Each structure stands twice: as C-alpha cells, then as structure tokens.
C-alpha cells in the first residue's frame, strides 16, 4: 500500500467523527483522491504533504470528469477534513467558489417521493429490515437512523428522540408523533425488539447493512431516499393546508404574504425534522 493511502486510512480509523456511513464515505473519497493524485504523477506523498497544487489538480480532474456539483462538494468536504487533521487547513480555500465550483442547485418541482406498499414490504423477508423501512416512511428517517433505532429509547410518547450516534453529522433531533399510523409503527417496533435496536444482537452495523441492501434489492426496492421526500411532502401539506410545488401546489410567487410566511415556517419545521441545518435544502423535497 502506498504511503499516502496508508496515512489517510489510519487518519480515518483514528478520527471516527460522524455516523458510520459518514466515516465510510469519507474514507472512500480520500482513498480515491490518493489514487487519483498518484495517477496524475504526485508520487511519494504522505498525508502531511498536502499542498494547494494537489487540491487544484483534483478539482480540475473532477470538473473534467463532469461530476455533479453535489459530488464535488462532498469530496471538497473530505479534503478539508484531511487538511484539518494534519494542521494544513491553509492549503485549501475556505470557499468552493475559489475553485469555480458553483452553488448546488436544490430547485426542483418534480416529485421524487416513493411510496411503500404492503405488497412491496411483504417481499422483504427480514423482519428487522422491514421494520426499518416502515420507520423510514413514517418518520422520514435516513437509512442508518432507522437501522440503529432503539424503540425503548426513542419513543417518548408524543415524539421520537434520535441519538447523535444514529444521525448524519452527529446531530440529535426530535420528531413529533402525529398520527395513529406512526404510533402503530412504534408499537410494532417495540414488540419486535423490546429493549434492543433494529440491528439484531448477532450482527454489527456493517453486517446488517449488507443484509438490508440484499433484502431491499431482492424485493425490487430502490431510491429509498424517496421515502423522506414522501414524508416531507405530506408534512408540508399538513402544515400549510395546500400541496407543495413538487406535487402540483402553488409556487412561492403565487402565494400571498401571509401564505409565504406560513410556507417559510413549514420549511423550517420540515428541515429540522429531516435533520438538515438549512431550510433551503427542503426545496429538493417539496419544490419552490
């Protein structure tokens, strides 16, 4: 193994920040970046060898590959993490605009929502995976959050509480229990695992993730992030009284001042319940 690849792997293993998925994705991105630098002729590098020319070369390569803005921004975040860990943050510009990377476009008025029907669920043979899928749809949870879900901790009666160790970015959050269906799903989860989590005791997260992926693939389920879109769109209509733009509702320019205020408050609420820091991101879920 080349020195740089080894250094970065050790850095990732010793600095376990964020969720398991975040850690895995970061290590994958940095390993790929190390390979790309080697292929571009930057040899005998170590983690502390990072320089502005390496950042610029990688960005240039990624732009030439026509990667999406979101993908490039995710990779830049990993590079900044690398630079921070070796005390060389000054080698990378604070703003992506310095490298000509435009803002990610969240605007879309096309719904990406996915529904989860009983016939689809019945094809998922693992009861723990099936339960996690129901939680994803009922509460707009991310996959990792629904897999690590521990009903005895999370179920607080009128809301569920997610631990920092379950969530992206390590941000705990609360989501209200508003409907009978949500209550039924929580009760089912409690009956299934008691005081445990939705990862069976004989598996760790990585093992259960492979089980999850296998069962959902065999059941023909894909793009399951769309379950979060469905939650957000349903919540928007509940909070405002009208459909969101992504499902045929009025755009912001067609709203009255009072309706715009309600729209803004609804987006803030949805952003918090989905675990995002900015209401702007809800545009990807409900449109504009």
Question: What is residue 4's predicted lDDT score, i.e. its pLDDT?
Answer: 93
The torsion angle over the Cα atoms of residues 269, 224, 81 and 55, rounded to 10 degrees, is -120
Task: Determine the Cα–Cα distance for residues 4 and 1; give it in Å rounded to an integer.
Answer: 8
Percentage of the chain exceeding pLDDT 70: 98
**pTM for the predicted model, two decimal places:** 0.70
Nearest to 49 by CA among 12, 90, 86, 92: 86
Mean pLDDT is lowest, of 28-32, 123-127, 278-282, for 278-282
Percent of the chain with pLDDT over 90: 75
What gap in Å lies between CA 191 and CA 193, rounded to an integer?
A: 6
Tokens 């803002």 identify what position?
A: 103
Instruction: Tell me how far apart the alpha carbons of residues 225 and 106 are, in angstroms, rounded to a whole number.
Output: 15
Q: Quick one: which of 26, 5, 4 has its CA closest to 15?
A: 26
- Residue 104: per-residue pLDDT: 60
- The token pair that represents 45 in the structure block: 């590098």
Q: What is the pLDDT of residues 21-57, one digit of tens each?
A: 888 899 999 999 999 999 999 998 999 999 999 999 9
Residue 27 CB neighbour total at 10 angstroms = 16
166-206 per-position pLDDT tens digit: 998 788 999 999 999 999 999 999 999 999 999 999 999 98
For residue 125, pLDDT over 90 is answered with yes
Bridge-based pairing state of the strands 173-176 and 159-162:
antiparallel
Q: Could you read off the pLDDT of 227-277 as tens digits, one per residue?
A: 999 999 999 999 999 999 999 999 989 999 999 999 999 999 999 999 987
Q: Which two three-digit tokens encode residue 157? A: 């009666």
* pLDDT number for residue 103: 66
Geometric angle at alpha carbon 11, from 148 and 199, rounded to 5°: 10
User: How far apart are the C-alpha atoms of 275 and 287, rounded to whole Å?
Assistant: 18
Distances (CA, A) of 37 to 4, 61, 79, 246: 10, 10, 13, 41
Res. 280: pLDDT tops 90: no
pLDDT at 56: 94
Query: What integer best gives the mean pLDDT of the chain?
Result: 92
How far is 159 from 178, CA to CA, in rounded Å? 8
Q: Using 50, 70 and 90 to split pLDDT, how confident is the model at 222?
A: confident
3-state secondary structure of 235: helix
Q: Give pLDDT tens digits for 76-124.
A: 999 999 999 999 999 999 888 888 887 665 555 778 899 988 999 999 9
- List CB contacts of 257: < 8 A, sequence separation 6 or more: none
Contacts of 98-102 with C-beta under 8 Å, sequence gap 24+, read 99/55, 99/56, 99/59, 100/59, 100/63, 101/59, 101/69, 101/72, 101/73, 101/76, 102/69
Other beta carbons within 10 angstroms of residue 130's beta carbon come to: 21
């Amino acid at each position: 193994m080349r020195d740089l690849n080894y250094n970065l792997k050790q850095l990732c293993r010793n600095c376990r920040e964020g969720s398991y998925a975040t850690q895995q994705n970061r290590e994958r991105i940095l390993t790929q970046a190390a390979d790309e630098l080697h292929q571009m002729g930057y040899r005998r590098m170590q983690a502390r060898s990072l320089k502005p020319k390496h950042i610029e070369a990688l960005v240039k390569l990624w732009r030439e590959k026509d990667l999406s803005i979101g993908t490039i921004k995710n990779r830049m975040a990993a590079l900044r993490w690398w630079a921070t860990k070796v005390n060389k943050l000054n080698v990378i510009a604070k703003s992506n605009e310095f490298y000509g990377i435009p803002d990610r476009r969240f605007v879309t008025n096309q719904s990406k929502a996915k529904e989860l029907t009983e016939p689809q669920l019945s094809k998922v043979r693992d009861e723990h995976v099936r339960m996690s899928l129901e939680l994803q749809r009922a509460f707009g949870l991310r996959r990792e959050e629904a897999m690590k879900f521990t009903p005895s901790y999370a179920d607080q009666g009128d809301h569920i509480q997610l631990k920092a160790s379950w969530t992206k970015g390590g941000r705990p959050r609360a989501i209200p229990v508003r409907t009978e269906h949500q209550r039924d799903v929580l009760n089912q989860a409690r009956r299934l695992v008691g005081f445990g989590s939705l990862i069976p005791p004989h598996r760790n997260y990585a093992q259960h993730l492979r089980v999850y992926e296998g069962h959902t693939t065999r059941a023909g389920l894909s793009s399951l992030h769309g379950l979060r879109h469905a939650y957000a769109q349903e919540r928007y209509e509940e909070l405002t009284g009208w459909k969101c733009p992504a499902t045929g509702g009025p755009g912001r320019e067609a709203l009255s001042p009072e309706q715009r205020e309600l729209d803004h408050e609804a987006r803030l609420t949805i952003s918090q319940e989905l675990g995002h820091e900015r209401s702007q991101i809800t545009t990807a879920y409900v449109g504009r």
